[in-house]
Amino acid sequence: RTENHIFALPPHFFEKMEEAVLEFLDKNGEIADSGPFASERGYDHKELVGALKRLESHQFIVSAVLEHRSWGLTAEAEEYVAGAGSPEAQVFNAVPPEGLTLSSLEKALPKVAQVGFSQAMRLRWLSKDKAKDPLITRAVSSIDDLVLTQLRSIRDNNESSPSDLEALKKRKLIAAITSKTFKVSKGPNFRTTLVKAATDLTDEMLASGSWKSTEFKQYNFAALGRPVAGGHLHPLLKVRQAFREIFFELGFEEMKTNRYVESSFWNFDALFQPQAHPARDAHDTFFMAKPAVANSLPADYVERVKTMHEVGGSGSIGYRYDWKMEEARKNILRTHTTAISSSVLWHLAQKPFVAKKYFSIDRVFRNEKLDATHLAEFHQIEGIVADTGLTLAHLKGIIGQFFAKLGLHSLRFKPAYNPYTEPSMEIFAFHPAFNKWVEVGNSGIFRPEMLLPMGLPPDVRVLGWGLSLERPTMIMYGIQNIRDLFGHTIELSTIKNNPLCRLDHL
């Protein structure tokens, strides 16, 4: 420790380069440019910059960046300088006194024939006849390869005229090079004696009182902290949460959707979907091998569903087929979250009726061919409203209110078919970013054949609509292939760096 309690560093800590900088500043006040300073002393400039940064970290010096712009040869130009000259000179030298055809020239110089011939003709070094495969002959006896001379001059850091530089730049034979050097002057802690300020307050300093005269390194409060190694939300989760908040704002309750495995009864039969429907085939649905069948179903409700399928009721004639219990008990990976809606509505019917608004957002599974817009698993957003006296106008109104919160105010509806809704409508919205109408969802009013067996009062109507979660997410994040959004091929950097979700700007 020195007398004034500044900690002296070991002699090997400082290189001669740093000592030379401090001595020069002590005598001259500043280093005007670190580039010439390094060249004159035989220093590598990068090593000198490292020394300057170390000195500046202790405030021995201060530095300012100096930017220098120069020109350098491209890789193509380097080949010409090291080889046979510019393309036009190579082409001229390849033409014998008796001449040769253009096709022969292209075979002889495949890399430079085209550009070289064009430049040589422009300089009137060559001439050609009007044949289909023209004969090329020399128009002058000798040439001066000015392009080669200019390139060598630039390589040797000699001055060149602006017109020459512009011509070479257009031909992509030179490129701008920006380099940085530093102007260096004395800092607030400048000294020629190399010392290092203390960085820690020790118990020894406190006990002896030496901390009072010790020089401490200043804290850099502008320094960035260490990045937090925490978790990151997937884009789908961000958009999912935004949709949940919209439903909550509209007064909806969230349904419990923690059943990926569902019986065919709740997924199909309770929705008045016939057992011969193509969606129930293995090429559209994943059937469970174990457990293959559901253990229990509400017997009285099952019987009413069976009757509605076979013979109908309340004005419906049903589907007129033999409904099979073994088909209804088959376990599957649910193909839509409406399987949850059917179960929730049945439980709602077991008590005195109260109007309800429900929603769900969760994963569903379909045996589909994988491509840029389809996966075997995806997420479905669904909303249902149960009340008396509801009409198609109410459905269109609440859909309009829902999509308005997504920033989509212009809607159109197209008649459609669903086994469990009547009427049914596809939903289209005008998307300003695409400047066209795009399909955004499906909707309808649940059929009496679905609701009456549940035990809901005859005057109760249930409105429903749904859409996928992946499509609005892909639109928001500019993703073209769904496999770049969801699955094992997604880039982890996409999850870490994706921006916040604003559904009102969908």
On the question of pLDDT at 204 being above 80, the answer is yes
On the question of pLDDT at 239 being above 70, the answer is yes
Q: Nearest-CA neighbor of 60 among 250, 282, 235, 215?
A: 215
User: In angstroms, rounded to a whole number, what is the distance separating the alpha carbons of residues 292 and 294?
Assistant: 7
Q: What is the pLDDT of residues 67-100, one digit of tens each?
A: 988 899 999 999 999 988 999 999 999 999 899 9
Q: Which residues pair with 429 in a beta bridge?
A: 411, 438
Residue 468: its H or E element? strand 460-468
CB-based contacts of 212, cutoff 8 Å, min separation 6:
none
Kindly report which listed range (13-27, 44-58, 132-146) carries the lowest average pLDDT score. 13-27
pLDDT, position 8: 44
Residue 463: its H or E element? strand 460-468
Tokens representing residue 263 in the block: 């019986």
Tokens representing residue 505 in the block: 């700007």
* Cβ 355 vs Cβ 457: under 8 Å: no
Beta-strand pair 421-431/436-446 = antiparallel
pLDDT, position 233: 83
CB-based contacts of 51, cutoff 8 Å, min separation 6:
15, 17, 18, 21
User: In angstroms, rounded to a whole number, what is the distance separating the alpha carbons of residues 439 and 466?
Assistant: 12
What mean pLDDT is predicted for residues 218-231? Answer: 80
Q: What is the DSSP string of 124-183?
A: TSEEE-SSSSPEEEESSS----HHHHHHHHHHTT----HHHHHHHHHTTSEEEEEEEEEE
Q: What is the pLDDT of residues 250-268, one digit of tens each?
A: 999 999 998 899 999 999 9
Q: Nearest-CA neighbor of 76 among 103, 108, 116, 107?
A: 116
Beta-strand pair 195-196/253-254 = unpaired
On the question of pLDDT at 9 being above 60, the answer is no
pLDDT, position 14: 42
Coil vs helix vs strand at 504: helix
Q: What is the pLDDT of residues 325-373, one digit of tens each?
A: 999 999 999 999 999 999 999 999 999 999 999 999 999 998 877 777 7
Would you place residue 476 in the very low, low, confident or very high pLDDT band (cuts 50, 70, 90)?
confident
Provide, rounded to the nearest whole percent, the portion of the chain with pLDDT above 70. Answer: 94
pLDDT, position 195: 65
pLDDT, position 409: 87
Evaluated on CA atoms 113, 114, 119, 122, the torsion sign reads positive
Evaluated on CA atoms 339, 340, 341, 346, the torsion sign reads positive
What secondary structure, in 3-state letters, does 79-132 show?
Answer: HHHHCCCCHHHHHHHHCCCCCEEHHHHHHHCCCCHHHHHHHHHHCCCEEECCCC
Q: What is the pLDDT of residues 431-474, one digit of tens each?
A: 877 788 988 899 999 999 999 999 999 999 999 999 989 888 88
Q: What is the DSSP string of 5-43?
A: -PEEPPGGGS-HHHHHHHHHHHHHSEES-HHHHHHHHT-
Is the pTM above the cut of 0.85? Answer: no
